[in-house]
Amino acid sequence: MLSRPHISELSPMYNARWSDGDDDNYTIIPSGYRLPASINPIHQNWIDLAGYQNLLLQYYMKHVLPIQFSHADRSIDAIIWNLIHSSDAAREAVYLLADLYRRGTQGGSLGHSALGDLDVYGHIQKVIEPVTEGDALASLCMVSCCLFSGSQGQWQAFLDGACRFCLAFLKRNPPSLVSALISCTDSMRFIIKTSIWFDVLASATLIRRPMFEVLRLLHDPSGTAFIDGRPELSMMGVMGCETRNIIALAEIVDLAYWKEDVERTGSLSVPELVKRGQRIETMLKTTNDNNNPHPADAEKSRLQHLTSAVFRASALVYLHSVISGNHPQCPEIMGYVAETVKCLKRAENVSTASCVVHSMVFNMCVCGCLTDVPEFRDYFLKLLQEQQMKTAGNCALVCDLMRRVWTSREAGIPVDWRVVMRDVLLV
């Protein structure tokens, strides 16, 4: 029997009641625990939560989870539901995330809630070193809390803890990442993939090597398309991006770190830099796009592939900034910024296009920082500002970062966009 979740330790703000217009969409579980009807209740030991916690959990499952993991199919509901009920830390993290999101989207001031004034934040800090899958989910939810709060809080400590948990699991389950992902539970696979995604993007802003160096094991240098051939190995159903594109971004991050390191010692070999860059570019230009998805999955598939196309084009912008430097007039940078804008405009015709923008904040920031074209600058600002009005997050912060880079460059003081973004998680 699972233990009863914490009740008394949460701050008084959780006592607030709020209405939800779709109250009839919930099913009464025999114990009295109210559960969204779309979830298949497969766990029998339901917990009779206090009323305000029940409201927060309902709000999370209905409103926050679809935004937090917008490209995942709805099988994610049961995975998250069971993880929440396996860990006190996971439940408290979900309560906090739901309340932050609700206050942000209903209060008009989005994405700038202070985490420091929340009593529960201190209680969840113990999951910086997770010991269970539920604790790892709590760490990832705390990363999302920091994102929804404008990148405030100790997101790096929570993320690194989740990554260490996953790497320890992979070390205990040899012989390879491929076999571990295929054989592990759905929940562990989800945690690993989500941690990989966050780690790669965070490493780009921190200018460090990704923690998941084992990610390279999913790439076949011969070009044989096996990495996305099995759903267990694909990032498409979790983050809407082809696995090879995630691997390529990790390689770009590693290349940027290598370049900076050898430049410090005066031992940079430009031919070696170009050679490595060309290898990554070849990887990005090879796709596994499925142009004939099942009719029932057509809309979701199109959304995922549009997201992947934006990711691929913007990753090429990032790659050529590493190879050629942060020069907006570089022909390759100009061309791939234009291609990114073209891909984003194609996504405007999709009914759920905001999911593309929501998951491509980092990519738009890179392209925005590396363009001097007024039309493109205005377009990136418009998309980010519209997204900020729809959901809590750090889009307003990204707009400020881009403007700082533009102002500095126009004043004749070029600035490395990665330095401006350092220590800010953009996902």
CA distance 146 to 155: 6
The stretches in the chain having pLDDT less than 70 are: 1-50, 107-128, 150-153, 219-229, 287-298, 300, 349-355, 391-393, 423-427
Q: What is the pLDDT of residue 233?
A: 83
CA distance 206 to 257: 10
Going from the C-alpha of 242 to that of each of 78, 159, 225, 300, the distances in angstroms are 24, 22, 11, 14
Q: What is the pLDDT of residue 120?
A: 52
CA distance 322 to 265: 17
Contact present, 347 and 383 (Cβ < 8 Å)? no
Collapsing DSSP to helix, strand or coil, 52 comes out as: helix
Going from the C-alpha of 191 to that of each of 67, 164, 212, 342, 421, the distances in angstroms are 17, 12, 13, 32, 25
pTM beyond 0.85: no
Structure confidence by residue, pLDDT tens digits, 381-406: 999 988 877 766 678 888 998 999 99
Going from the C-alpha of 8 to that of each of 58, 196, 366, the distances in angstroms are 19, 35, 44
Q: What is the pLDDT of residue 137?
A: 94
Contact present, 399 and 424 (Cβ < 8 Å)? no
Structure confidence by residue, pLDDT tens digits, 137-179: 999 999 888 877 766 667 888 999 999 999 999 988 877 788 8
Collapsing DSSP to helix, strand or coil, 323 comes out as: helix
Element of type H or E holding 28: strand 26-28
Q: What is the pLDDT of residue 150?
A: 67
Contact present, 29 and 46 (Cβ < 8 Å)? yes
Q: Which of 211, 195, 184, 177 is nearest to 130 (CA)?
A: 195
